[in-house]
Amino acid sequence: MNNCRWRKRRSRGFTLLELLVVLVIIGLLVGIVGPRLFGNVSKSEITTARAQIDVLSKALDQFRLDVGRYPSSQEGLAVLFAPVPGEVRWRGPYLRKDVPSDPWGQPYQYKYPGNKQTDDFDLYSFGPDKAPGGSGDNADIGR
């Protein structure tokens, strides 16, 4: 008879102490795994931005081969998808889809002629901080 009472009481559910132990374990797992997971997301966004800049650079080079010049800063990257009015040598579109935004939802920055001595044009993203400059993970990404 005493054994029957113990079974009824035990089958009601978890005790408060058992629930607290489970919550602490879950909290520890989230605290350990969470930062590593979000760090990988940030790295993948930077890798995506670099890959998109590489594709855009190759499209700009193809535009230059066809037209004989890089697009002006005023024309921008839009000429890679839509024809330049009055340009008879344009053989695009040079991209399959319209010019993408960077992984943070901002437009890529394009300038021709570029500021750098070695490049004909500047093409970059402001990065995660969405502002010029920055250092570390917030540095501008580009060529």
- Tell if the pTM clears 0.75, that is, is over it: no
Q: Hey, where are the domains in the chain?
A: 42-133
| Element spanning 53, H or E | helix 16-67
Single-letter amino acid, residue 85 = P
Q: DSSP class of residue 100?
A: P
Write out the two tokens for 38: 């979000």
pLDDT in tens, 19-72: 888 888 888 888 877 777 666 667 888 888 999 999 999 999 999 999 988 998
- The CATH homologous superfamily to which domain 42-133 belongs is Glycoprotein, Type 4 Pilin (3.30.700.10)
Cis amide linkage into residue 71, ω under 30° from 0? no
Q: Are 112 and 89 in contact (CB under 8 A)?
A: no
Alpha-carbon Rg for the chain, nearest whole angstrom, is 28
Backbone angles phi, psi at 124, to 5 degrees: -160, 165
CA dist 4 and 79 (Å) reads: 81
Taking only the tens place, the pLDDT of each residue in 84-135 is: 888 889 887 998 888 889 999 999 999 988 776 655 888 999 888 877 877 7
Angle 53-56-60 from CA coordinates, rounded to 5°: 135
What distance lies between CA 19 and its chain's CA centroid? 39
CA angle 130, 136, 137 (to 5 degrees): 50
